[in-house]
Amino acid sequence: MAILSEYPDLVKSIFLNKEDNEAGIYGLRFFIRGKPWVVTIDDVIPFIGSESSPSLTYARLADMPAENGAYWGPVLEKGWSKVKGSYILSEGGWVENGIGALLGFPTFTFYSSSMDSTLELWELMKEYDELDYLSGGGTSWWGNSCGIASSHAYSIISVFALRDQSGVIQHRLYMVRNPWATTYYSGNFRSSDSRWTDYFISQVPYGVDPTTSQNHGIFFIPEEDIFSCFVDITVGHNRDSEGFSADWYDFEDDPDAISERSYSVDVPRETGSVYFQ
């Protein structure tokens, strides 16, 4: 969800009804084993705390009020919990599974053990970033030298370079966000690092101030240190950015259907298996 939240249009694509409604019923689309399914839920969300001072039990929007009162996070979380069977069973997981289940995007993963050059990876990630691909990094369970959480997934917001006044690249960075909205990153280009000159700060994408962004869970990892922090990086192939589009649900006997979604199969009489691709 943290990776997805950087792309509002993709978030909206999951919801069949995108506005609040008096019935309190929401339809969400998930991809289960690659196939789109519509999941229907009500708007009853679990809270903890007192009646006068409640707090959301899981997706903690109540701790940081969302713009315009939006509460898509808890609704989406409840829908996925219905798919999994409970909130507890929906906890954790892999980045590639999350992207696939929420969006149906194909994914590919780079592992630290299989990469020869962090510069080569940065150049690839820079290209993917410009194509609006989704990306996130995962940490190992045994810890890391960056001071960030173990067995956790982080969203990669941007891949960019810092240049001197002659236009020569001096540093190549990843802008990363912790969905917990906290960070204890202790590596180079941390918030207190003297490398952050006013000139470099002015080049950070989206107007983010790297000296205070840790308050929102945002931090910056230099290209050469990326695998000191992450053991893998997963990229979601956003085909929408390349002009790909497709209907993901149809009504029975819909006269406006763009394509025919029915298939006829003749099973052979002889013993054997039938495979579909």
Angle at 50 between CA 46 and CA 57, to 5 degrees: 25
Within the chain, what is the greatest distance between any pair of CA atoms? 76
What end-to-end distance do the CA atoms of the chain give, in Å?
30
Q: For residue 51, what are the contacts with CB-CB under 8 A and spacing of at least 6?
A: none
Looking at residue 217, its amino acid is G
Active site residue 152: yes
Enter the DSSP assignment of 88: T
Chain center to CA of 61: 17
How far is Cα 39 from Cα 150, in angstroms, rounded to an integer?
32
Structure tokens at 132: 């609006």
Which residue is catalytic, options 171, 178, 237, 238?
178
Which residue is catalytic, options 68, 144, 152, 188?
152
Residues marked as catalytic: 152, 178
